[in-house]
């Protein structure tokens, strides 16, 4: 079984600053996907960024980037130029490699990020 | 496309009552799943389905039933609600196949059991 740990229940950052959210995971799988999801007050789950474990290059989506350390089983999210709209709960999630049937996500407990004006 | 829809958005039940949370998707996705979200615990998988007529248990299936008679619909049934089932429930869907496909989440149902 996989486990995902987010050790920062709450974080805050000043608008326009950079913040990093931490995530560690435990798995015996060699092929898997890692994700960061954003959940604003509307409750909608929004995919922020995805990383395939077989790719060494860290994923980037505009202001969002990850630091994927496979050996250390670490997957942090960096948000640059933070905006008020980034205020949300952020979840780290794991999915083992697609085998035609399994699509289960395992989530961490979340980090509540508040961007301060 | 409406995407993944869930009804109702909010529900209050008394202990012992039964109800069905509805989930539907119009994207012809094979895979559908139900998660519950509790404070401080993230989302946990309740049940999932890889296609019409096929369902299986996730991490926390006790107290819940599911069925998948059509590709579009995946209802979650609480036969005898308990206060421990107070939670926010999310339905998700994605395409099948051997390549990665993004999961799409519904807007959630907030359930309170008194």
When CB atoms are compared, the residue of B58, B100, B105 closest to A33 is: B100
Q: What single-letter DSSP state applies at residue A22? A: -
Give residue B96's pLDDT.
Answer: 76
Query: Which of A41-50, B9-18, B29-38, B98-107 is least confident?
Result: B98-107
Residue of B43, B87, B89, B108 to mutate, interface with A, max A Cβ within 10 Å: B43
pLDDT higher than 90, residue A40: yes
pLDDT band of residue A98 (cuts 50, 70, 90) is low
Q: What single-letter DSSP state applies at residue A97? A: P
User: What integer best gives the mean pLDDT of chain B?
Assistant: 93
Give residue A2's pLDDT.
Answer: 86
Going along B1-114, which residue ranges are E strands? 4-7, 10-13, 19-25, 31-38, 42-51, 54-57, 64-66, 76-78, 87-94, 104-105, 109-113
User: Is B61 an 8 Å CB contact of chain A?
Assistant: no
Give residue A102's pLDDT.
Answer: 60
Provide the percentage of residues in chain A whose pLDDT is more than 90. Answer: 83
Alpha carbons within 13 A on the beta-carbon side of B85: 27
Query: What would the pLDDT profile of B43-72 be if each residue is shown by its tens digit?
Result: 999 999 989 999 999 999 999 999 999 999
- How far is it, in rounded angstroms, from Cα B42 to Cα B35? 10
pLDDT band of residue A100 (cuts 50, 70, 90) is low
Contact between chains at A98 and B42 (C-beta distance less than 8 A):
no
């Amino acid at each position: 079984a996989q486990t995902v740990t987010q050790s920062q229940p709450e974080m805050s950052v000043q608008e326009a600053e950079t913040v990093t959210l931490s995530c560690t995971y435990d798995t015996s799988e060699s092929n898997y996907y890692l994700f960061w999801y954003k959940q604003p007050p509307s409750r909608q789950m929004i995919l922020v960024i995805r990383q395939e474990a077989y790719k060494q290059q860290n994923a980037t989506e505009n202001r969002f980037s990850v630091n994927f350390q496979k050996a250390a089983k670490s997957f942090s999210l960096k948000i640059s130029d933070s905006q008020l709209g980034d205020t949300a709960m952020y979840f780290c999630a794991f999915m083992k490699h697609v085998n035609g049937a399994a699509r289960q996500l395992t989530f961490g407990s979340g980090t509540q990020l508040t961007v301060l004006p | 496309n409406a995407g993944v829809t869930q009804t109702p958005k909010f529900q209050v039940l008394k202990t012992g009552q039964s109800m069905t949370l509805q989930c539907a998707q119009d994207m012809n996705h094979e895979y559908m799943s139900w998660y519950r979200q509790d404070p401080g615990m993230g989302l946990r998988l309740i049940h999932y389905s890889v296609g019409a007529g096929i369902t299986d248990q996730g991490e926390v299936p006790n107290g819940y039933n599911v069925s998948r008679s059509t590709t579009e619909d995946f209802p979650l049934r609480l036969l005898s609600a308990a206060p421990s089932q107070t939670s926010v429930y999310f339905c998700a869907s994605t395409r099948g196949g051997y390549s990665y496909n993004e999961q799409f989440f519904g807007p959630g149902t907030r359930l309170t059991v008194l």
